[in-house]
Amino acid sequence: MKKQINLVAVMLFVIALASLVAAVKLGHGHGGNTYGFSSGG
């Protein structure tokens, strides 16, 4: 039980870090998406 809780916490933390990095950095090229309607959403 103890190991399972640790794994969940670590996974959540990794997801959080990935989300934070995605929010801060700009993607490909300098990397973001171009902002036309057909580009995303």
Nearest approach, Cβ of residue 2 and other proteins (Å): 9
What's the CA gap between 41 and 38, in Å, rounded? 8
Q: Going residue by residue from 1 to 40, which x/- string records binding to other proteins, judged by CB under 8 A?
A: ----xx-xxx-xx-xxx-xx-xxxxxx-xx-xxxxxxxxx
Nearest approach, Cβ of residue 18 and other proteins (Å): 9
What the block records as the tokens of 5 is 């809780």
Q: Cβ contacts of residue 33 below 8 Å, gap of 6+?
A: 27, 39, 40
Binding residues for other proteins (CB under 8 A): 5-6, 8-10, 12-13, 15-17, 19-20, 22-27, 29-30, 32-41
